[in-house]
């Protein structure tokens, strides 16, 4: 039975609700903020919905904010100041609730005499999980409808709970999520900044688009991999015969994203001419396909990502200031890198580790391991437990296997630099689990009994510090000067041949990663940073640029540094 907390200085709502909604349970009401905080602590995780009054006739001392001095210091009649606080007290309480409970549904019961609400109504309407109900006369039916609607929606949300983007519980990330939720619903463009692998594309696709509540599709364009001469046609479309080679008309992404979200990744790569056209799209909602005589209308929500500093590009004359201003830079959101998330590193590690245990390849290995150790294979929906520490909880569920990260393993991972951020992190954890399982399954003799901890409990998968350092070492890129590369081919015709320095390493994996790194760095420079060309050379596939970029990230190659070297 869903539990509802009523925050109200009087019992009007409580009586009404109890009478008309016997199917819900109503927790003892809270009369002010202090009681609210106590109730939320006491019923942590059990409150499904909050009904919040706005006007509170309570003594001065119970009113928020705790520090009223700044308000009183502005002068005016103190009695009036307190009266205003009473008439808007619910909003102060809401602000406090949101600090700790960003996604708790709250219905704000407003009435005409709640004056301050007028000014706040728009902001509140834009918030996820905050609902306004105008309620001048207590209307049980309207209230019941709204409550049932919200609870049903919440159930659906919980069902689809595994959000693909992990936010964590730090105050900074909760704030970021809330802010992005608000930006997603608005009509203005959204800028997402952040280093590679911080989840910019993921947030645009999985978080902003679904929350924009737009019926049209999500269309993404990576401007860093799109050749300059194709960009205009790709964005705006082409009319048949516009130039030699335009043998048929083609829709651009602006047409495809109509009614939905257009995600322009690496917006810094957009040429100045096209910046002007994009500005027109934002200003007028119109554009002209190449070769067309008429302008077309489009209605898109624009989300752009960049790991360059757009403001600096504006100063350098490489990005139009008018477009920049139109992109709504005041609300730009920066996704933090993994190094900036040291505080919740353990939670992140556990979350990503659980996620990689669900990968098909790792599932197969897990099944083999279980079989070898006389355990039932974990089913596709059986979660593995992940524990960081020296010992694990006592064995409860026989089906449940445990990934145990020794404190030294944890420390190695925590102190690593992670230039490829969460992308690199996830791949590394996946490799870590795979290598551990392969070792356990194929070469059990290599495992020392004490490595298994807890007297060799069969349900434990120990992640050993040795495996972690084997995996991290090759990703610690040596300084460029340590890896001189001598070319054999003089004319560059034969890109596949070059001399590589091989140094002894700690493991074969480390040596081969070092070789691969030298080769890829070299090829990157020879191709002038054109990943598509590298794809052609390596895989016979110009579309494999992304794959190669991922591989280079995984090896810890810093593309930006190479690019500067190639440009300079």
Ligand X SMILES: Nc1ncnc2c1ncn2[C@@H]1O[C@H](COP(=O)(O)OP(=O)(O)OP(=O)(O)O)[C@@H](O)[C@H]1O
Residues that bind ligand X (CB under 6 A): 165-166, 194, 196-202, 307, 422-423, 426
With CB cut-offs between 5 and 8 Å by kind, which of Mg ion, ligand X, none does residue 199 bind? ligand X
Q: In angstroms, give the least distance from the CB of 200 to ligand X.
A: 3
Which range, of 192-200, 234-242, 332-340, 479-487, touches Mg ion by CB under 5 A? 192-200
Residue 193 backbone phi and psi in degrees, to 5? -110, 165
Choice between 24 and 200, CB closer to Mg ion: 200
Residue 402, beta-bridge partner list: 385, 460
Q: In angstroms, give the least distance from the CB of 219 to Mg ion.
A: 14
Determine the longest span between alpha carbons in the chain, in angstroms. 88
Q: In angstroms, give the least distance from the CB of 102 to Mg ion.
A: 25
Q: In angstroms, give the least distance from the CB of 230 to ligand X.
A: 19
Q: In angstroms, give the least distance from the CB of 554 to Mg ion.
A: 15
Residue nearest to ligand X (CB): 199
Choice between 120 and 426, CB closer to ligand X: 426
With CB cut-offs between 5 and 8 Å by kind, which of Mg ion, ligand X, none does residue 301 bind? none
Q: In angstroms, give the least distance from the CB of 458 to Mg ion.
A: 41
Choice between 28 and 543, CB closer to ligand X: 543
Choice between 130 and 421, CB closer to ligand X: 421
**Of the residues 201, 269, 334, 414, which one makes contact with Mg ion according to CB under 5 A:** 201
Of 261, 262, 265, nearest to 193 (Cα)?
Answer: 265
Copy the structure tokens of residue 488. 């054999």
Choice between 200 and 522, CB closer to Mg ion: 200
User: What is residue 468's three-state secondary structure?
Assistant: helix
Choice between 87 and 423, CB closer to ligand X: 423
Percent of the chain that is helix, strand, coil (3-state, to 5): 50, 10, 40
| CA–CA distance, 91 with 14 (Å, rounded to integer) | 20
Copy the structure tokens of residue 184. 């997603």
Q: In angstroms, give the least distance from the CB of 206 to Mg ion.
A: 12
Copy the structure tokens of residue 96. 């406090």
Choice between 135 and 266, CB closer to Mg ion: 266
CB 109 within 8 A of CB 49: no
Q: In angstroms, give the least distance from the CB of 413 to ligand X.
A: 16
Strands (E) across 166-276 are located at: 190-193, 218-222, 261-265
Copy the structure tokens of residue 291. 């070769």
With CB cut-offs between 5 and 8 Å by kind, which of ligand X, Mg ion, none does residue 198 bind? ligand X
With CB cut-offs between 5 and 8 Å by kind, which of ligand X, Mg ion, none does residue 426 bind? ligand X
Rounded to a whole number of angstroms, the distance between the first and last alpha carbons of the chain is 66
CB 353 within 8 A of CB 433: yes
Residue nearest to Mg ion (CB): 201
With CB cut-offs between 5 and 8 Å by kind, which of Mg ion, ligand X, none does residue 387 bind? none
Number of residues in contact with Mg ion under rule CB under 5 A: 2
Strands (E) across 32-88 are located at: 49-53
**Contact call for residue 249 and Mg ion (CB under 5 A):** no
Copy the structure tokens of residue 412. 């190695």
Please enumerate in sequence order all residues whose Cβ is within 8 A of that of 228, keeping only pairs 6 or more positions apart, or say none: 271
Choice between 201 and 431, CB closer to ligand X: 201
Alpha carbon 197 to chain centroid distance?
10
Of 276, 272, 305, nearest to 288 (Cα)?
Answer: 276
Choice between 63 and 356, CB closer to ligand X: 356
Of 142, 138, 120, nearest to 130 (Cα)?
Answer: 120
| CA–CA distance, 215 with 209 (Å, rounded to integer) | 10
With CB cut-offs between 5 and 8 Å by kind, which of ligand X, Mg ion, none does residue 307 bind? ligand X
DSSP 7: E
Q: In angstroms, give the least distance from the CB of 201 to Mg ion.
A: 3
Q: Which of residues 56-85 bind Mg ion (CB under 5 A)?
A: none
User: Where do contacts with Mg ion occur on this chain (CB under 5 A)?
Assistant: 200-201
């Amino acid at each position: 039975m869903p539990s509802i907390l009523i925050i109200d200085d009087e019992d009007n709502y409580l009586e009404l609700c109890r009478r008309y909604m016997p199917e819900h349970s109503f927790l003892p009401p809270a009369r002010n903020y202090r009681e609210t905080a106590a109730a939320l602590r006491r019923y942590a995780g059990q409150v499904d919905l909050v009904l919040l009054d706005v006007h509170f006739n309570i003594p001065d001392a119970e009113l928020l904010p705790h520090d009223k001095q700044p308000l009183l210091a502005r002068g005016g009649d103190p009695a009036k100041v307190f009266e205003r606080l009473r008439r808007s007290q619910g909003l102060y309480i809401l602000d406090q609730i949101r600090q700790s409970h960003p996604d708790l549904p709250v219905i704000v019961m407003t009435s005409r005499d709640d004056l301050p609400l007028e000014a706040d109504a728009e902001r509140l309407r834009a918030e996820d999980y905050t609902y306004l109900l105008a309620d001048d006369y207590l209307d049980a039916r309207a209230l019941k409808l709204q409550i049932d609607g919200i609870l049903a929606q919440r159930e659906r949300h919980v069902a689809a709970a595994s959000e693909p983007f992990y936010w964590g519980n730090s105050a900074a990330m909760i704030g970021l999520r809330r802010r992005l939720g608000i930006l997603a619903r608005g009509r203005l463009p959204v800028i997402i900044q952040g280093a590679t692998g911080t989840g910019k594309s993921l947030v645009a696709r999985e978080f902003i688009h679904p929350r924009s509540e737009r019926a049209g599709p999500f269309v993404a364009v990576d401007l860093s991999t799109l050749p300059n001469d194709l960009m205009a046609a790709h964005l705006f479309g082409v009319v048949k015969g516009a130039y030699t080679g335009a043998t048929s008309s083609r829709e651009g992404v602006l047409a495809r994203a109509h009614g939905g979200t257009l995600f322009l990744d690496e917006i810094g790569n957009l040429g100045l001419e096209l910046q002007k056209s994009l500005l027109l799209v934002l200003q007028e909602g119109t554009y002209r396909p190449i070769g067309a005589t008429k302008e077309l209308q489009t209605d898109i929500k624009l989300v752009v990502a960049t790991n360059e500093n757009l403001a600096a590009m504006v100063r350098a004359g490489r990005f139009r200031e008018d477009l920049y201003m139109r992109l709504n830079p005041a609300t730009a959101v920066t996704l933090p890198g993994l190094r900036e998330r040291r505080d919740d590193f353990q939670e992140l590690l556990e979350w990503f580790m659980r996620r990689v245990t669900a990968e098909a390849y790792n599932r197969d290995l897990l099944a083999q391991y279980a079989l070898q150790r006389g355990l039932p294979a974990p089913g596709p929906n059986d979660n593995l437990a992940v524990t960081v520490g020296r010992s694990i909880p006592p064995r409860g569920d026989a089906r449940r296997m445990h990934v145990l990260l020794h404190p030294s393993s944890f420390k190695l991972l925590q102190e690593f630099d992670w230039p490829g951020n969460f992308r690199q992190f996830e791949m590394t954890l996946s490799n870590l689990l795979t290598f551990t399982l392969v070792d356990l399954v194929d070469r059990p003799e290599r495992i020392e009994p004490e490595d298994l901890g807890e007297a060799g409990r069969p349900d434990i998968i120990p992640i050993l510090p040795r495996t972690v350092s084997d995996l991290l070492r090759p990703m610690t890129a040596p300084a460029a000067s340590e890896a001189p590369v001598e070319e054999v081919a003089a004319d560059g015709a034969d890109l596949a041949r070059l001399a590589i320095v091989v140094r002894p390493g700690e493991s074969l994996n480390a040596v081969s990663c070092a070789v691969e790194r030298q080769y890829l760095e070299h090829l990157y420079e020879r191709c002038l940073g054109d990943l598509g060309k590298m794809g052609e050379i390596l895989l016979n596939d110009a579309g494999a640029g992304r794959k190669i970029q991922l591989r280079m990230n995984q090896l810890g190659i810093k593309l930006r540094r190479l690019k500067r070297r190639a440009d300079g």
